[in-house]
């Protein structure tokens, strides 16, 4: 029981920065208004979106180049995550306080805060994933896929808590204090509270950090000659393989539309269908619940069998493409808050949340097959696959962060940058735009390409270890 509680605690603490990040769908609009109260939705004033994308790019770069650091010094990684995340969120709160009288300074401070926060959630998420894979494989060896699956419900629950906490500070406390002529509340206090939470949880994870003891190897006969040390791959060697870049491309392409929808879920129902702040937050939480279910059940369903995971991945991409290609019909001509007008759009976005969670849940099992398939083969006893697997987990986070930066950024540009959308449309909750429909069509085509690539099982081949050197 202690080990199960420890496993859940480590996963929950490590995911806390990412849980906050996933709640930024409800944060974007209020921050835009506070930083630019006159024209908050103009592309040049979309600082909340551009800074979020910049932070995600920083996160991807840090995990790509720092994946080995996570493996060498996990506790040190958690300390760095807590400090950078706490300071970054604190600066975002300071930016909210400065915005009323020092707007230019506030924007710069907010960008710096987002960049620092970006260094936190990438590192801590990988630590949580490593803990989940190690502990749940040890505790429930017959439930293959449970480790990556557990992350989904935990992440969804944490994001929902952050989203409703933000709603409480923004709608119920100090309305209009941070900017003239707006009704936004004490968003600054939310960021200060979030900074304390992130700092405390990362230091708590550092204090509790523990992985299960590896299985004890049988005693070696002293008369046998000592075995040669096992070889493994460095980050540079991993980056020179087609296995890494092939999967990197497929993972990036399939995640790109889903992340765009994740950020735009709350703004679209707010602007297009006239949802209230509370209804937008509730819809975001519904999306997250579907995401959590998809991320939990899909890897368990695959049982970490590569052929099954590849087929599920392909089906999910195909279904996602169909939904994306059909979705514009639910937006064009239907900007009404009278039900059931919003229902088709809401159902399809929630379904996309399930598919996105499932695709992300399959990632560790697929990578394990590509990089660790030789673990039990005596022919490869000279090779240790675990270091390369841990490196690939971190380096593939760059694909995830690129998708999370480009998907929302392009979706936001297509939505508020459309010539069919005016400021009055956005303010009145009656916004539709032809360019946003084109974004859906483009995203659907991208998903169709990904589904087509997955038809060929050898498009991303499994990694072949270097041959052992035979002594002369």
Backbone angles phi, psi at 383, to 5 degrees: -115, 135
Cα(294)–Cα(353) distance, integer angstroms: 8
Q: First vs last Cα of the chain: how many Å apart?
A: 53
| Predicted pLDDT at 472 | 44
* Top mean-pLDDT range of 135-139, 269-273, 343-347: 135-139
On the question of pLDDT at 122 being above 60, the answer is yes
Q: Which two tokens stand for residue 347?
A: 């159902």
| Predicted pLDDT at 229 | 65
pTM of the predicted protein model = 0.84
Q: Considering the chain, what percentage of its residues have pLDDT values greater than 90?
A: 12
On the question of pLDDT at 96 being above 80, the answer is yes
User: Which residue is listed with tokens 């000279």?
Assistant: 382
Condensed to tens digits (0 to 9), the pLDDT of residues 139-176 reads 888 887 888 888 889 988 999 999 899 888 888 776 76
Condensed to tens digits (0 to 9), the pLDDT of residues 388-444 reads 888 888 888 888 888 888 888 888 777 776 655 555 655 554 555 556 778 888 888
- 265-281 mean pLDDT: 77
Question: Cα 336 from chain centroid?
Answer: 31
| Predicted pLDDT at 424 | 62
| Lowest mean per-residue pLDDT among 220-234, 263-277, 279-293, 354-368 | 220-234
- 326-333 mean pLDDT: 66
Q: Are 322 and 452 in contact (CB under 8 A)?
A: no
> Which has more pLDDT, 469 or 466?
466
Q: Cβ contacts of residue 432 below 8 Å, gap of 6+?
A: 272, 331, 332, 333, 335, 420, 421, 425
- CB-side exposure of 54: number of CA atoms within 13 Å? 14
| Predicted pLDDT at 90 | 95
| Predicted pLDDT at 421 | 56
Condensed to tens digits (0 to 9), the pLDDT of residues 180-207 reads 777 777 888 899 999 999 999 999 999 9
């Amino acid at each position: 029981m202690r080990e199960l509680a420890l496993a859940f605690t480590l996963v929950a603490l490590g995911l806390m920065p990412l849980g906050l990040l996933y709640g930024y769908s409800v944060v974007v609009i209020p921050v835009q208004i506070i930083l630019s109260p006159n024209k908050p939705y103009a592309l040049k004033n979309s600082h909340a979106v551009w800074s979020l994308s910049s932070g995600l790019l920083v996160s991807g770069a840090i995990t790509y180049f720092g994946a080995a650091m996570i493996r060498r010094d996990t506790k040190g990684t958690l300390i760095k995550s807590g400090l950078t995340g706490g300071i970054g969120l604190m600066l975002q709160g300071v930016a909210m306080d400065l915005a009323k009288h020092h707007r230019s300074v506030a924007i710069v401070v907010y960008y710096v805060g987002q960049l620092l926060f970006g260094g936190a959630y990438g590192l801590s998420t990988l630590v949580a994933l490593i803990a989940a894979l190690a502990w749940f494989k040890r505790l429930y060896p017959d439930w293959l896929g449970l480790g990556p699956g557990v992350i989904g419900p935990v992440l969804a629950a944490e994001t929902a808590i952050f989203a409703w906490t933000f709603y409480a500070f923004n709608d119920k406390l100090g309305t209009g204090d941070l900017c003239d002529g707006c009704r936004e509340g004490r968003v600054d206090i939310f960021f200060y509270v979030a900074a304390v939470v992130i700092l405390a949880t990362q230091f708590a994870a550092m204090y509790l950090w523990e992985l299960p003891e590896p299985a004890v190897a049988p005693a070696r006969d002293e008369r046998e000659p000592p075995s040669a040390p096992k070889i493994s791959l460095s980050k540079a060697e991993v980056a020179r393989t087609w296995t890494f870049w092939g999967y990197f491309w497929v993972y990036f392409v399939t995640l790109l539309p889903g992340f765009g929808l994740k950020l735009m879920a709350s703004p679209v129902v707010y602007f297009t269908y006239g949802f209230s702040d509370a209804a937008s937050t509730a819809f975001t939480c519904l999306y997250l619940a579907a995401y959590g279910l998809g991320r939990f059940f899909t890897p368990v369903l695959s049982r970490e069998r590569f052929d099954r995971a590849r087929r599920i991945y392909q089906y999910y991409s195909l279904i996602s493409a169909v939904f994306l290609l059909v979705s514009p019909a639910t937006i064009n001509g239907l900007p009404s808050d009278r039900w059931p007008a919003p229902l088709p759009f809401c159902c399809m976005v929630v379904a996309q949340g399930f598919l996105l969670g499932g695709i992300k849940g399959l990632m560790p099992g697929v990578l394990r097959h590509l990089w660790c398939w030789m673990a039990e083969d005596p022919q490869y006893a000279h090779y240790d696959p675990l270091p390369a697997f841990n490196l690939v987990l971190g380096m593939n986070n760059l694909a995830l962060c690129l998708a999370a930066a480009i998907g929302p950024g392009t979706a936001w540009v297509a939505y508020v940058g459309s010539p069919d959308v005016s400021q009055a449309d956005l303010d009145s909750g009656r916004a539709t735009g032809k360019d946003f429909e084109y974004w859906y069509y483009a995203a659907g085509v991208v998903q169709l390409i990904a589904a087509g690539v997955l038809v060929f099982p050898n498009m991303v081949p499994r990694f072949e270890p270097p041959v052992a050197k035979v002594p002369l």
